[in-house]
């Protein structure tokens, strides 16, 4: 009996229809990069058949090599492949915009009503759960990349460097990349990627796709040196133009200009996802610039976990709090100043991602299966595991001993953390149910203490 013929590809896709999907995705993209990528695969490969399994995974592999939020970059890549540059730009923007607006609103509520018992109680329960989530992230990434003693050694060295010596995160990234580059020449098998992290979790989409395996590369997606130079020049021009406006308006030492410069650097260091760059953001935003406190940073991560969009959007919370406390537009315009700071931080954090996709996409389309730099990136990812473990310990310290080691031990927070770990590791709970239950537990404990 002959196999049935594959279903024909869907009809031509309009830009308006695509934009409606990207906007919808921006509001439902919970669950971190794995959840966001799973949603995109289900919708784009299996249900709508806009892109084939092979082309989807090829784009994903490139995005995983880049610094920045891989799910947002994947949306930008597919949008660009479907509808040229503007399709990619709008897809990436709509993936982020709902999260930015929601975080601006929640940040205002946090600052204005954070000391209200109900709000304080919710955060009291969420903070220990976030500690467990970060530890779970270290385990999840570690189980994928720590495949041999070399990788374990790199992770351990990174942990010791940042925990014991306070080594800046960029220095750890550079050292790991150099180790991967030189060691791979003698021991290439050590740094060979495990391959198909996401491919193992997804199946082939039914029928032929709009962009199928054998679909010729669209004209706009073919590599051109002139187009490559234009995209790089435009990206640098946008960066320099907005930076110049901020410097002229507020001075180089002004809060907005310093935020723009700091988060431009952070955007280039987000190998391994948001959890990896958070220690660097903490070092700069809390220790150096003092835009917010360590406790507020944990609260911001909790907000980032409970909103759609990339977790790196926690930087919008950092920008909002910093803009508010520094009164960047004066004491009579605190909200406007804070919202402007959140937008500035978001712009400089995500601008490189758009440049990477629009400039590098044509190269990727022309080099199926021949992406380089895997050894340095494998080493960086291993180092990221040690950095994330340090971040989990940092959160645990601040949550379990709110007044420092000299203060009282918060047993209730420790219990919530342990139970959250059980829920994640043993019961396989998702992030949203865990945070919801933890918030209710924290609220109940807070109200119970007030009554007693």
**Domain extents in the chain:** 103-191+223-451
Task: Please give the distance of CA 133 from its chain centroid, rounded to a whole number.
Answer: 14
The CA–CA distances, whole Å, from 67 to 119, 269, 345, 350 equal: 34, 6, 16, 10
For 228-243, how does the pLDDT look when each residue is reduced to its tens digit (9 = 90+)? 999 999 999 999 999 9
Residue 375 has what pLDDT? 77
Supply 333's token pair: 């315009």
The CA–CA distances, whole Å, from 390 to 74, 239, 270, 300, 410 equal: 29, 32, 16, 18, 20
Is the predicted pLDDT of residue 192 greater than 90, yes or no?
A: no
Is the predicted pLDDT of residue 440 greater than 70, yes or no?
A: yes
Instruction: Please give the residue that has the higher pLDDT: either 115 or 163.
Output: 163
From the CB of residue 352, how many other CB atoms can be counted at a distance below 10 Å? 19
End-to-end CA distance of the chain: 75
Task: Return phi, psi of residue 211, to 5°.
Answer: -110, 95
Per-residue confidence at 69, pLDDT binned at 50, 70, 90? confident
Distance CA(393)–CA(398), nearest Å, equals 9
For 306-321, how does the pLDDT look when each residue is reduced to its tens digit (9 = 90+)? 778 888 889 999 999 9
Instruction: Please give the residue that has the higher pLDDT: either 113 or 156.
Output: 156
Distance CA(121)–CA(451), nearest Å, equals 13
Instruction: Please give the residue that has the higher pLDDT: either 328 or 199.
Output: 328
In 350-409, the DSSP E strands lie at: none
Q: Taking a C-beta distance cutoff of 8 angstroms, is the pair 200, 143 a contact?
A: no
- Helix ranges restricted to H, 11-147: 15-28, 32-40, 53-65, 70-113, 117-145
For 118-160, how does the pLDDT look when each residue is reduced to its tens digit (9 = 90+)? 777 887 888 888 888 888 878 877 887 788 899 999 999 999 9
DSSP string, 173-221: HHHHHHHHHHHHHH-GGGG-----TTGGG--PPSS--SB-TTPPPPGGG
Q: Taking a C-beta distance cutoff of 8 angstroms, is the pair 116, 450 a contact?
A: no
Whole-prediction pTM = 0.73
Q: At what angle do helices 411-425 and 374-400 cross, to 10 degrees?
A: 140
Lowest mean pLDDT among 193-207, 333-347, 414-428: 193-207
Distance CA(409)–CA(179), nearest Å, equals 40
Task: Return phi, psi of residue 332, to 5°.
Answer: -90, 0
Supply 115's token pair: 């000391």
Secondary element (H or E) of residue 344: helix 334-366
Distance CA(43)–CA(197), nearest Å, equals 19
Instruction: Please give the residue that has the higher pLDDT: either 282 or 274.
Output: 282
Per-residue confidence at 255, pLDDT binned at 50, 70, 90? very high
Nearest by Cα to 367 from 246, 221, 241, 187: 221
The CA–CA distances, whole Å, from 326 to 11, 257, 329, 333 equal: 53, 13, 9, 11
Distance CA(262)–CA(291), nearest Å, equals 12
The CA–CA distances, whole Å, from 251 to 244, 245, 258 equal: 9, 9, 9
Torsion angle of C-alpha atoms 181, 179, 175, 359, degrees rounded to 10: 20
């Amino acid at each position: 009996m002959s196999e049935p013929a594959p279903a024909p590809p869907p009809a031509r896709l309009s830009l308006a229809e695509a934009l409606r999907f990207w906007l919808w995705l921006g509001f439902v993209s919970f669950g971190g990069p794995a959840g966001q990528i799973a949603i995109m695969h289900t919708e784009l490969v299996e249900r709508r058949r806009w892109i084939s399994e092979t082309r989807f995974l090829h784009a994903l592999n490139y995005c995983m090599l880049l610094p920045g939020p891989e799910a947002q970059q994947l949306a930008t890549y597919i949008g660009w492949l479907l509808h040229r540059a503007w399709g990619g730009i709008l897809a990436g923007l709509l993936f982020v915009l709902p999260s930015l607006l929601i975080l601006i609103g929640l940040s205002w509520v946090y600052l204005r009503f954070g000391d209200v018992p109900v709000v304080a109680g919710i955060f009291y329960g969420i903070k220990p759960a976030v500690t467990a989530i970060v530890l779970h992230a270290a385990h999840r990434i570690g189980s994928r990349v720590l495949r041999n003693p070399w990788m374990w050694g790199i992770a351990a060295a990174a942990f010791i460097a940042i925990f014991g010596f306070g080594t800046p995160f960029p220095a750890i990234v550079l050292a790991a990349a150099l180790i991967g580059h030189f060691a791979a020449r003698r021991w290439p098998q050590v740094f060979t990627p495990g391959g198909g992290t996401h491919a193992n979790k997804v199946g082939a989409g039914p029928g032929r796709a709009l962009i199928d395996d054998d679909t010729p590369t669209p004209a706009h997606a073919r590599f051109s040196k002139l187009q490559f130079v234009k995209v790089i020049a435009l990206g640098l021009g946008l960066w320099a133009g907005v930076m110049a406006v901020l410097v002229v308006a507020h001075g180089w030492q002004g809060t907005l200009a310093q935020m723009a410069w700091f988060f431009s650097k952070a955007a280039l260091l987000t190998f391994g996802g948001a959890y990896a760059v958070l220690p660097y953001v903490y070092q700069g935003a809390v220790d150096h610039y003092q835009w917010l406190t360590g406790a507020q940073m944990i609260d911001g991560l909790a907000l980032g976990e409970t909103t759609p969009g990339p977790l790196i959007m926690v930087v919008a919370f950092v920008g909002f709090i910093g803009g508010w406390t520094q009164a960047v537009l004066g004491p009579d315009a605190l909200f406007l100043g804070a919202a402007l700071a959140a937008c500035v931080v978001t712009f400089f954090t995500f601008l490189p991602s758009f440049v990477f996709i629009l400039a590098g996409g044509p190269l990727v389309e022309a080099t199926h299966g021949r992406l380089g730099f895997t050894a340095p990136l494998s080493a960086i990812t291993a180092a990221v595991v040690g950095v994330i473990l340090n971040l989990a310990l940092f959160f645990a310290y601040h949550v379990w001993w709110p007044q420092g080691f000299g203060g009282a031990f918060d047993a209730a927070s420790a219990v919530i953390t342990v139970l959250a770990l059980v829920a994640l590791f043993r019961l396989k709970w998702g992030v949203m149910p865990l945070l919801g239950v933890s918030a209710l537990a924290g609220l109940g404990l807070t109200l119970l203490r007030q009554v007693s």
